[in-house]
A and B are shown apart, each in its own frame.
Chain A
Amino acid sequence: MKAVATLERETRLLQGNQAIAEGAIYAGARFYAGYPITPSSEIADECAKRMPELGGMYIQMEDEMASIAAVVGASLAGAKALTATSGPGFSLMQENLGLAVMGEVPCVVVDVQRSGPSTGLATKPAQSDIMQVRWGRHGDQSVIALCPATVRECFTLTVQAFNFAERFRVPVVLMPDEIVGHMRENVALPLPGEIEVVDRKAPAGPPASYLPFKPDEDGIAPLAAYGSEYVFHVTSSMHGTDGYSNNDPANAAWRVRQLHEKIERHRDEIVLTQSYYTEDMDVLIVTLGATTRAARTAALEARAQGIKAGVLQLQTVWPFADREIAALGKRARMVVVPEMNYSGQVAGEVLKALGPGADIRRVNKFNGTIITPQDILDAMLRPAGAQTQGNQP
């Protein structure tokens, strides 16, 4: 019934990348700084048009290092800010993304994943930045990452990305693949007020006693805006609750733990998944991004052949949905993990979640083409123990 009601509303034919820009605006983003790179450039294009119309700001920067720096600065000045890029640009952003983690600066970075390594197949899709998103920065730290599978999710998960960034004072990476970024679908966009929009917690006490890194009960410190009556200091170096450098071992241990724990404590709220046909399944397909669409078709075709397959889509990639996978995986005789990379970046995490002995079937493609429903069906039908196929030349 709900789906019918949705369709009756005005729908728009929208590209994934456009929907990301629209989602950012819905979430209250009014600052974009970036350096265009395929396959993310439509996000810049849309923001260049829309931000000025809304009294916001769009800046084309000289490179990706400057782009993320501008985003961090804008956010500290109180704006909801984003940038968008792809592989090579995302690599360049890592250093200042680390600054955003350390300074607990809410921001959203969109990495529309394309084939690597390096400039690789610049226009072709991949899902091979999964570990870079998690570990790309040096030092021990944690971010949140979301991955859309549809144009509508490009919109809704962008809103969610801003909500998480604002609520937990952390950079959030939205990581669609090129297929989803460039696909057009007719979608009924949420109306204002339909999805909750979260704003960062502002300090309430007297400015003189404001401590920008002193967490409240919920583990998150209020964040003032530069230029307000709250004057505060942010540094990339180890610092105390007042924001000034502090090399005391006890303080350093507390800071590193706190950067992790503020996310771990709220893990159940952050880990978003979507299940399809899992009620009675005995074969589980764990997916993210465009591969989810192939898996949904594969599950239906498997069911037509008498195999009860179900799909668990990881809308949140980091923190990883280990408990959700373990809960469903226990009921499955086989878990199939299709992903557009060579190394099985998701499959490795699935193995950690399920433990040794689980029948995990990897489906990997790393030649710039999408995993098809047939690729997934083939993996299901392989005898146990037979290893994954490579790519056909």
Chain B
Amino acid sequence: MRDSRLEIRIGGTGGQGLILCAKMLADALAAAGKRVAQSQTYEPTSRGGYCNSDLIVSEGEVDFPLATALDCLVLLDRMAVKPSWPLLKPDALVLADTRLCPELPEGNRDVKYRVHHLPLTRSAIELGSERVANIVALGALAAISGMCERKALERAVRADTPKSFLDLNLDALAAGYRLGEQEPALAATAP
């Protein structure tokens, strides 16, 4: 049913691991008994072009499986702003990267949406690879939204990470949680 429906978009550019990020989150939510449907932009463009990965979460089987009104939006690149902003629900949670997405549409920012500007890619670079910005974002999103259990998310990250990247990904997840936990709560209502 629509009441329990939660819509999440991870937006950025191709190659940032947007689909992987959504898959890990989907696994963590599924472990808690939620039903999920994950989809993505599918275009001849990949690296460098606009991409998003969407996740619809529901208590029962997800009916319409694509995004119609976003509860949560993660912006890992400015290219994702224009196609995603019109889909935001009032009071939606927005996480934007300070470095690659410094500007957000003016006017209703901080008013209509709960916007957190976070150094996601910078944290990833400090950890040694910008490639794990998606995992930093995952940690920050989970910390701020409280939508899934940290343990379940860690399990999902472990399950979907090659051995050689495991330590880096777990560090990235922890860094994301730290960023998220430092943020003030912007509104009383959970997404």
Contact = CB atoms under 8 A, between A and B. Distances in A.
B30 A186 contact: yes
B27 A294 contact: no
Nearest to B30: A186
Interface in B59-79: 60-66, 68
Contacts of A11: 30
Nearest to B40: A182
Nearest to B68: A372
Contacts of B39: 179, 182-184
Interface residues of B, number: 24
A370 B36 contact: no
Interface string A109-124: 0000000000000111
A297 B37 CA distance: 14
A296 interface: yes
Contacts of B36: 13, 184-186
B38 A13 contact: yes
Contact of B30 (A13, A182, A296, A373): A13
Contacts of A370: 66
A184 B55 CA distance: 9
Interface in B30-87: 30, 33, 35-40, 42-44, 60-66, 68
B163 interface: no
B188 interface: no
A7 interface: yes
A248 to B, nearest CB: 52
B9 interface: no
Interface in A88-127: 122-124
Contact of A123 (B23, B44, B66): B44
A3 B35 CA distance: 11
Interface string B4-34: 0000000000000000000100110010010
A8 B116 CA distance: 36
A185 B29 CA distance: 12
A293 interface: yes
Interface string A163-190: 0000000000000001100111110000
A363 interface: no
By CB atoms of chain B within 10 A, which of A124, A185, A290, A293 has the most? A185
B1 interface: yes
B33 A13 contact: no
A184 B30 contact: no
Nearest to B64: A297
Given A179-B65, A179-B66, A184-B37, A3 B1 contact: no
By CB atoms of chain B within 10 A, which of A183, A294, A370, A372 has the most? A183
A296 B44 contact: no
A186 B43 CA distance: 24
B30 A297 contact: no
Given A185-B37, A373-B68, A123 B63 contact: no
B43 A296 contact: no
B2 interface: yes
Contacts of B42: 39, 123-124, 178, 182
Contacts of B30: 11, 13, 186
A184 B23 contact: yes
A269 to B, nearest CB: 26
Given A13-B36, A186-B27, A186-B35, 10 more contacts: A11-B30, A13-B23, A39-B42, A123-B44, A182-B40, A183-B37, A183-B39, A184-B23, A296-B64, A372-B64
8 contacts: A3-B60, A13-B36, A178-B42, A179-B39, A184-B39, A290-B65, A297-B63, A370-B66
Interface of B: 1-2, 23, 26-27, 30, 33, 35-40, 42-44, 60-66, 68
